[in-house]
Structure 1
Amino acid sequence: MPYLKVKDDIDIFYECYGEGEPLVFVHGLGASSSMYKPQIEYFQQHFKVILLDLRGNGNSGFLECNVESVLDKQAEDIKELLLFFGNFFSNIYWSFIWWGFNSKGSPCIPRYC
């Protein structure tokens, strides 16, 4: 399984499929990237599909921070993952972010944007 070790030494699990503009799937609170497995087959034909497990979820490392900073840490993890894949946010749109709909989506996304 592929992992990216982020600045504070936490392993963030990710998977990547296909080629082209990035399409990042970010799950909601308490979920994992596995919720998007059914979408991979279709979207990988058109995009570079990137799935990740936010810290404290799925196969990623534990939440080792104050509760108040969880969303900021998760947003930073997304930023580091995108930098790892080639600084996609130099393009304003870097394609899409697919919001998880359980738990009202991933609330760390507005902090990233």
Structure 2
Amino acid sequence: MSEEITAIDTAELGEKIVRVLKTIYDPEIPVDIYELGLIYDVFINEDYDAKILMTLTSPNCPVAETLPVEVEEKVKSLDALKDVEVEITFDPPWTQELMSEEAKLELGLL
């Protein structure tokens, strides 16, 4: 398999992962976690293992235990992926500046 094909496959897979992430909502805020800016990065290696680097709105977030598990399970539902790892980080800490324009508009911040 050429590198060009692999690059296209992982790019398409990345888009599929983002579509899945946009179906997951923070229970306290009516905006999906992607638009909320909670997803810092999505990595996919050549073995089709995905790693998602994300944060929470605060370290004391009530869904700190369940949200990463939900992200992992929903992304794992993509057949092309072999494994999914979700890593939580608070560096940098989440701020409202990380939200998309769409999320800010939804929450009346614009």
TM-score interval, smaller chain: 0.3 to 0.5
The structure having more radius of gyration, on CA atoms, is 2
Please give the TM-score of this superposition, normalised by the length of structure 1: 0.33
Higher strand share: 1
Q: RCO higher in 1 or 2 (8 Å CA, sep ≥ 6)?
A: 1
User: What TM-score, normalized by structure 2, do the two folds share?
Assistant: 0.34
